[in-house]
Structure 1
Amino acid sequence: MQKKDPYAALRFKEFNIFLLVRFALVFGWSMQFVVIEWQVYALTKNPLSLGIIGLCEFLPAFFLAPFAGHIVDKKEKRNLFTLCIALFSLISFGLFWLTSATIESSWETNTILYGIYGLVFFGGVLRAFFGPTIFSLIALLVPKKAYPNAATWSSSTWKGANVFGALCGGFLIAWIDVHYTLGIIFILVMTALVLVLRISQKPILNKGTNESVKESLKAGLSFVFNDKVILGALTLDMIAVLFGGAVAIFAVFATDVLDAGPKGFGILNAALSSGSIITMLATTYIPITKNTGMKLLISVFGFGIFMIIFGASKLMWLSVLALFFSGVFDGISMVVRQTILQLKTPDNMRGRVGAVNSMFVGSSNELGALESGIAARIFGAPLAVILGGTITLVIVTIMGIKNQPLRNLDLTKDIELHEKDD
């Protein structure tokens, strides 16, 4: 086996362009999430309204994901990615317009609120396509032997953009207000739209099949649900995000628990992601393919422990520290999961598997936001996070005992086979 090259995927020009596109998109998306959460809570002072944001994005993202996966497998990936970005720019501009002084002075609060919910719902439709499109496109930009490294850099870029997006979102709200922050987000999305055109069109690997939509969807779901390793990896991440996450109610912690204001709100968001990106960059040098299953189980367990500490904390420095280490474990689990999916998924099913991944993990962000909002309303934000972290620990323990293929997973031989093939 050859010596690990920490920059293997970066040696391909189009993958570097892809990383720039993804950074601009996620940076803007992360800021937009922070701004929307802050604006909606400022309008309503009700944590349940934050959960409604999650529900508005979850419903279309979850139920359209299987159909999106079928379409992605049949269509050219670069053009589809470009269309998604173009439509996302309309959402960004719509939010920019809704928060203008003219609209705020002439429209009722509830009308503005419903407008925000409507644009978030439209964003959920796009989310159903973004996930499988990106997952499929990465595999067309680098050779198979570079998949683990590409997964690491892609995940690191995503988390890095989250770090700076969340941090800048909080500070920009304080400095230039919500409206102009959303204007910057629109510029970032348009930048991504220009950059993506520098990636060439890619071959369609599944265009020769005559599967009906029903057959295609059934094949994708059957593949995932019959593979205990992939199903276990997706389930673990879904549970961690659904019950262990607390991002959707950070505004409640910043305002009511820690008295930290918008700057503290941005710091809380950034603390979680900063731990992830540091860990992800470290994994470009440290192999994660040995004892892969145990590393995934331990990382999700560690994430749950530190989220419990965050929920119990009343001190800003301890909350930031707990979120940082939650991010460290979250970063490991994300890289491991993406590596498993890239290596275990056949090329002609990447769109559908990516869609199921979006249903499990991507949509669980929105459903988790709803769960967090409801739990915070019933139990209070701190107890809601503590209970969610505890549920995460229980489920990870059960998964580790019951799912032997995942527990014993080692990807070393898979990497060696791909190196020989390439």
Structure 2
Amino acid sequence: MLSVAIGWQMYELTNDAFSLGLVGLAQFVPMMLLTLLVGHVADRFDRRKIVFLCQLFEGVVAVFLAFGNHAGWLGREQILLAAAVIGACRAFEGPTLAALVPELVPKELLPQASAWSASAGQTAQILGPSLGGLLFSAGPSLVYVTSAVALLSSAALIYWIRKKRSVRKVEPLAVRSLFTGLVFVFRHKIILGTISLDLFAVLLGGATALLPIFAQDILHTGPWGLGLLRSAPAIGALLMSLVLAHVPLKRALGPILFGALAVFGAATILFALSTSLILSLTALFLLGASDVISVVIRSTLVQLHTPDEMRGRVNAVNSLFVGTSNQLGEFESGMMAGFFGAVPATFIGGVGTIAVAALWMYLFPALRRLRTFSDEWTEEKPRTKQSDVQTGP
């Protein structure tokens, strides 16, 4: 709901594609600056309480937006400030939530758990934008207030999670230990190939930042149409994640991954060329369904092959890659649209996604040949946990 309201209100206030891009940049910069610290915090402190605080502060930001809009002083700068604070909160929240899951789920069920986690998130992304677009028709303040209630309720539910007490090895805070997540990722080539593939493919192919432009100027619909457009990828992702939860990926992971990226690029091209709301929704549906395959493969690989005492730092690196592809992708899309127009920018992004997939098949042959989740462990033996911890950047 916040994404719909912030994006639509920013474009309504400025009528400027560059400003839409800046919203993505404002969320990305805190994530980039805080990544190394975030991972160390997630490995040193109670992960449940960290997520609780993040949700709490995001709820406060929603209250700030509601009050500012009601009082009439909410403008471009205030929206960008709110986006930056949300980005900082999500910088801590994402890696910590990912690191928390293996504490709650047996290792052998992680692939299914990743799919169920994705389906839960996608359900929220279906209901949220649709409801946000509907509520926005009655005014953005209503969207912000509803978001605040949801976020504060979520904070309470996170705080009440009960889990077995686990004892993690805690390292002293040092510059060397901050970089061990990066060292771990770059040492495991298949993990590096997977998350970097997602980074560059989504960075080029992401069109969600431009949805307000497509909704208003190309498809000629209102906030309700924008809500439908934002929900369509989530619906595709939800249905695919439910399939993967019941029929988990076990074989031909590499070919499936690259095939999904090819579909992602083709769907982006179709969306760019469409002038029909139904066809655009279909393209976004396919885009979301193909994207969740990459999410499940990437998250399962990271969780299965990361020691618990390093999981926060490794997931922080993973979140940086994901955040770069999403938030920086929104900035890139906004800049491209500002220079070339929304349709050419989106079309070029779709072609670029397919090109990146082809290039990564050449650069990471082990990823192309990946068959099962255990292949990475047998193809290159990682060093011991202790050496991973002690190795500097």
Give TM-score, length-normalised by structure 1: 0.86
Matches within 5 A, 1:6-405: 31-100=1-70, 103-104=71-72, 107=73, 112-174=75-137, 176-200=138-162, 202-207=165-170, 209-210=171-172, 212-405=173-366
CA 1:354–1:412 in structure 2 vs 1: closer, same or farther (change >3 Å)? closer
Letter in 1 for 2:88: V
Deviation at 1:198, TM superposition (A): 1.8
* Residue range with higher mean Cα deviation, 234-243 or 375-384: 234-243
Letter in 2 for 1:240: A
Deviation at 1:380, TM superposition (A): 0.5
| In structure 2, distance between residues paired with 1:161 and 1:276 | 11
CA 1:99–1:59 in structure 2 vs 1: closer, same or farther (change >3 Å)? same
Deviation at 1:413, TM superposition (A): 4.6
Letter in 2 for 1:78: R
Deviation at 1:363, TM superposition (A): 3.2
Letter in 2 for 1:56: A
Q: Deviations over 1:177-204 (max 9, x none)?
A: 2111111111101111221122136435
| In structure 2, distance between residues paired with 1:412 and 1:338 | 11
| In structure 1, distance between residues paired with 2:167 and 2:53 | 17
Residue 323 of structure 2 aligns to a residue in which SS?
helix
Give the root-mean-square deviation of aligned CA atoms: 1.8
Deviation at 1:412, TM superposition (A): 5.4
| In structure 1, distance between residues paired with 2:43 and 2:31 | 17
Task: State whether residues 343 and 414 of structure 1, in contact with CA within 8 Å, keep that contact through their aligned partners in structure 2.
Answer: no
Deviation at 1:364, TM superposition (A): 2.5
Letter in 2 for 1:127: R
Deviation at 1:236, TM superposition (A): 1.4
Deviation at 1:303, TM superposition (A): 0.4
Q: Deviations over 1:83-117 (max 9, x none)?
A: 111111111111111111xx21xx3xxx6221111
| In structure 1, distance between residues paired with 2:95 and 2:143 | 29
Letter in 2 for 1:99: N
| In structure 2, distance between residues paired with 1:377 and 1:213 | 43
How many residues are treated as equivalent by the alignment? 377
Q: Deviations over 1:100-141 (max 9, x none)?
A: 1xx21xx3xxx6221111111111111210111001110111
| In structure 1, distance between residues paired with 2:167 and 2:213 | 46
| In structure 2, distance between residues paired with 1:182 and 1:306 | 32
Task: State whether residues 111 and 248 of structure 2, in contact with CA within 8 Å, keep that contact through their aligned partners in structure 1.
Answer: no
| In structure 2, distance between residues paired with 1:261 and 1:355 | 37
Residue 140 of structure 1 aligns to a residue in which SS?
helix
Deviation at 1:79, TM superposition (A): 1.4
| In structure 2, distance between residues paired with 1:54 and 1:206 | 36
| In structure 2, distance between residues paired with 1:145 and 1:337 | 16
Residue 99 of structure 1 aligns to a residue in which SS?
helix
Task: State whether residues 72 and 133 of structure 1, in contact with CA within 8 Å, keep that contact through their aligned partners in structure 2.
Answer: yes
Letter in 2 for 1:184: T
In structure 1, the gaps of 5 or more residues are 1-30, 418-422
Q: Deviations over 1:135-157 (max 9, x none)?
A: 11101111111111111111111
| In structure 2, distance between residues paired with 1:370 and 1:303 | 19
Task: State whether residues 307 and 385 of structure 1, in contact with CA within 8 Å, keep that contact through their aligned partners in structure 2.
Answer: yes
| In structure 1, distance between residues paired with 2:291 and 2:325 | 15
Residue 249 of structure 2 aligns to a residue in which SS?
coil
Moved over 4 A (4+): 412-415
Task: State whether residues 306 and 323 of structure 1, in contact with CA within 8 Å, keep that contact through their aligned partners in structure 2.
Answer: yes
Residue 409 of structure 1 aligns to a residue in which SS?
coil
Letter in 2 for 1:130: E
Residue 284 of structure 1 aligns to a residue in which SS?
helix
| In structure 1, distance between residues paired with 2:114 and 2:270 | 30
Task: State whether residues 58 and 364 of structure 1, in contact with CA within 8 Å, keep that contact through their aligned partners in structure 2.
Answer: no
Q: Deviations over 1:307-353 (max 9, x none)?
A: 01100111111111111111111122211211111112221111011
| In structure 1, distance between residues paired with 2:373 and 2:233 | 30
| In structure 2, distance between residues paired with 1:359 and 1:296 | 20
| In structure 1, distance between residues paired with 2:80 and 2:174 | 30
| In structure 1, distance between residues paired with 2:256 and 2:305 | 17
| In structure 2, distance between residues paired with 1:213 and 1:57 | 27
